[in-house]
Structure 1
């Protein structure tokens, strides 16, 4: 049977597909649930002064887990890293569920971040090594759906569990999902082998990942202290410490949108960060400026998740129909629709419920088009020898960039209000920042296609180098 007529749920792929989907759902549900229960955690553990570190610690640890495990996969394959990542995430969940003080909770979040970053990198690797190119759009579409569904149910379910029993049961409840995922997928992971890379310096990459984590941590601390002078100094120091390891860890030319893989990662990181941050600040705008209840705001945001799920599912069918020829067009169209969706909610004062829903549906269609296929295109440009690194880069774009952009967006809002602007004016400026990121992503998306001989000849005739 050809891969065109196969399904990701056919007998050959069934266990791995279900295992991957459950892994992604567990990580997504845990991450989004903590947003709802974090105030209760901080209150019960007498740690309101450390509230922000519940999230920051997870992000910083995820950077290390994501980047370091990608190099390990390229040397030894994904089976052992995936097993260790599962165990680390499980230990982190148990530690969180039994935490008696805030420091234990923060340490547990660090373990969860390390485990989640490593797990998702291993999952991307498994997708690249296990599925033929024709099925990757379908499994990545299911991957996206599995991550989006918790955004529709996770916060509500977590709040209900915390209200009826305790926030501790949220962490306990994720364990069975992970254990089922392990039973289904571990045997498939043990069969996966990646081609060893030559000349890679794993120790140097680890130190770069640690330096990036330190720089990001300093940046986040500084953002929280803006608009003070000391805050500005700390932000500048953190930014400098971030840029150097970023240039070393990501493919050369990523920050300059160089054609091919660098442009793919730049496009994905920018549009995903803009989308994620817009969701956060739109909820704030709807509740604080428009007077909508949290549950209503949640339903409006869920409309984007719903359209994302539908388009992500259809994406696989379209990719099979045109045999991948329309991938680049769909990415560019997706980013363009994201720009339209963000533009619709840009002018906060005139945003009504109807306008917000329309904007969210369009943004969901955009992310549903661009997100899965950008991963497919990345893997299509990667040989087996570099699949671990590409997997790490994709996961990095999905986690690091949104975390930093949300922090920057928050600081923009604080600075605007410190300057005497109203909340709604500050939110307009913040939305404008997101729109700028989408425009940059759109520019990068036009450079995703790798340099062909025809393009190279044209550049040389103009006296230009390949960039």
Structure 2
């Protein structure tokens, strides 16, 4: 496929069904992600699990790391087809477990299984893109993935809130499970007609070690979240030890030099984790803030998420069109500035009582900043990768993303718990987000120029 003509399209006859199926899976993952963020305050109250609010997000992200490592290794060894099938199946099973849960532990169990599927699906789709589409179409594919958030962002949060408020929160999970099964059948049938490669032999000891390390990272991330429930004297000490241990365990799962922001792929991967942590830790508390401080209903609390997702999709489209012209350094500066501005707007509402419209509109800038940055980092990862390490590098990018998000959400939860919980404690979350974004600017200025060198 790498020899395809320059005018080929991601929607041409040979790829249209695969592109459509992949976009549908991303679309439904977007629906689920936006729905969970909107309905979690209701779920935690219904299942008497307010203390585990942060863990419901962090746990899913943590176990997704295991799915990413497994899918990356599977894709490199045998091709991405089987990895994708297994991941989507786990995603559906997790949704069903959460949707039928009657206690918070049961709900969390479903979220953990769902995380395995979500992580594996992301990596497997990245490798499918690398194997099936020529490099000059990668930016357009990921722009299409981002655009798959447009409709969910327009109706997803509002619809999820309405479903939870007027029907039952369970349908926010069960409905997505049914639709994902249908989309999965479509892409499974069409992928059989494409050669995605059969992979290369892998060192089983290395793979086993990486998988065990992924399990360690996931368990420690959950421990950080659960530490919010232990005695205040010890919770920060436990969290700090777990964070240090994650830093040690994650090193073999990332490109060499990632934690010290070495130029090129290591900085690409590190920036992804820091930016994801800042954005998703903050977004997890925005509907909660609107409900607790400003008495929004679940239906209307999703408005901020809608604007952010629309900004994300729009900026992703701009990146697909003009990313090479803007360049990596300019994209970094624009993205970081937009996210910091958004966090300051939300902080103004949380700490100083500014009108909720300030937070809602401001958060749209965070979505735009992430939409410009995210697909660019994905394109750079593939540009830095060869056929033998596409799975490893794709999984490393997603591992950084999910680990950064899981740890940041868990730490934010500890911060809220330490200040007594409730809306009065929420400002600490957004201050923490600003710190993470500023840290993300360091690797952001060291991304290198792989995309420019491979674009010709």
TM-score normalized by the length of structure 1: 0.83
Deviations 1:3-37 (A, max 9, x none): 54333222222111111111122223234334455
Shift of 1:223: 3.4
Q: Distance in 2 between matches of 1:52 and 1:338?
A: 22
Q: In the alignment, is the contact (CA less than 8 A) between 1:331 and 1:374 conserved in 2?
A: no
State which drifts further: 231-240 or 438-447. Answer: 231-240
2:366 to 357, 363, 370: 363
Segments of 5+ residues of structure 1 without an aligned counterpart are: 452-467
Distance verdict in 2 for CA 1:181–1:268, change over 3 Å: same
Q: Distance in 1 between matches of 2:173 and 2:296?
A: 30
Deviations 1:396-446 (A, max 9, x none): 23322122212212322333458xxx955x444432221111111112111
Distance verdict in 2 for CA 1:223–1:97, change over 3 Å: closer
User: What is the match of residue 394 of structure 1?
Assistant: 397
Q: Distance in 2 between matches of 1:346 and 1:45?
A: 29
After superposition, residues 146-225 of structure 1 pair within 5 angstroms as 146-147=148-149, 149-186=151-188, 187-188=190-191, 191-193=195-197, 195-196=199-200, 199=203, 201-225=206-230
User: What is the match of residue 436 of structure 2?
Assistant: 437
After superposition, residues 298-317 of structure 1 pair within 5 angstroms as 298-317=302-321
Distance verdict in 2 for CA 1:308–1:385, change over 3 Å: same
Q: In the alignment, is the contact (CA less than 8 A) between 1:378 and 1:390 conserved in 2?
A: yes
Q: In the alignment, is the contact (CA less than 8 A) between 2:41 and 2:288 conserved in 1?
A: no
Deviations 1:85-130 (A, max 9, x none): 2222233334444456655444333322211211111111112222
Residue 447 (structure 1) aligned with residue 446 (structure 2) = yes
Q: Distance in 1 between matches of 2:431 and 2:59?
A: 28
Shift of 1:261: 0.8
Q: How many residues align?
A: 443
Segments of 5+ residues of structure 2 without an aligned counterpart are: 451-456
After superposition, residues 233-272 of structure 1 pair within 5 angstroms as 233-272=237-276
Residue 125 (structure 1) aligned with residue 123 (structure 2) = no
Structure number with larger C-alpha Rg: 1
Q: Distance in 2 between matches of 1:43 and 1:17?
A: 39
Shift of 1:162: 4.1
Q: In the alignment, is the contact (CA less than 8 A) between 1:63 and 1:400 conserved in 2?
A: yes
| SS at structure 1 position matched to 2:24 | helix
Distance verdict in 2 for CA 1:49–1:334, change over 3 Å: closer
User: What is the match of residue 340 of structure 1?
Assistant: 341
Q: Distance in 1 between matches of 2:21 and 2:374?
A: 21
Q: Distance in 2 between matches of 1:74 and 1:261?
A: 18
Distance verdict in 2 for CA 1:287–1:152, change over 3 Å: same
Deviations 1:316-340 (A, max 9, x none): 2224xx5x67345324432333233
| SS at structure 1 position matched to 2:389 | helix
Q: In the alignment, is the contact (CA less than 8 A) between 2:161 and 2:299 conserved in 1?
A: no
TM-score normalized by the length of structure 2: 0.85
State which drifts further: 397-406 or 146-155. Answer: 146-155
Distance verdict in 2 for CA 1:309–1:22, change over 3 Å: same
User: What is the match of residue 233 of structure 2?
Assistant: 229
Q: Distance in 1 between matches of 2:287 and 2:98?
A: 27
Shift of 1:355: 3.6
State which drifts further: 351-360 or 35-44. Answer: 35-44
Distance verdict in 2 for CA 1:305–1:39, change over 3 Å: closer
State which drifts further: 145-154 or 68-77. Answer: 145-154
User: What is the match of residue 413 of structure 2?
Assistant: 410
Q: In the alignment, is the contact (CA less than 8 A) between 1:22 and 1:177 conserved in 2?
A: no
Shift of 1:280: 3.2
Shift of 1:181: 2.3
Distance verdict in 2 for CA 1:350–1:316, change over 3 Å: same
Q: In the alignment, is the contact (CA less than 8 A) between 1:197 and 1:386 conserved in 2?
A: no
Q: Distance in 1 between matches of 2:372 and 2:260?
A: 24
Q: Distance in 2 between matches of 1:409 and 1:299?
A: 22
User: What is the match of residue 135 of structure 1?
Assistant: 137
User: What is the match of residue 455 of structure 1?
Assistant: none
After superposition, residues 270-285 of structure 1 pair within 5 angstroms as 270-285=274-289
Deviations 1:133-153 (A, max 9, x none): 222112112212324653553
| SS at structure 2 position matched to 1:347 | helix
Deviations 1:369-389 (A, max 9, x none): 111111001110100111111
CA-based RMSD: 3.2
Residue 326 (structure 1) aligned with residue 322 (structure 2) = no
Q: In the alignment, is the contact (CA less than 8 A) between 2:334 and 2:369 conserved in 1?
A: yes
Q: In the alignment, is the contact (CA less than 8 A) between 2:415 and 2:429 conserved in 1?
A: yes
Distance verdict in 2 for CA 1:428–1:38, change over 3 Å: closer
Q: Distance in 2 between matches of 1:136 and 1:81?
A: 20
Shift of 1:217: 1.9
Q: Distance in 2 between matches of 1:303 and 1:173?
A: 23
Distance verdict in 2 for CA 1:295–1:99, change over 3 Å: closer
User: What is the match of residue 453 of structure 2?
Assistant: none
Shift of 1:48: 7.1
Q: In the alignment, is the contact (CA less than 8 A) between 2:159 and 2:299 conserved in 1?
A: no
Distance verdict in 2 for CA 1:224–1:59, change over 3 Å: farther
Q: In the alignment, is the contact (CA less than 8 A) between 1:215 and 1:240 conserved in 2?
A: no
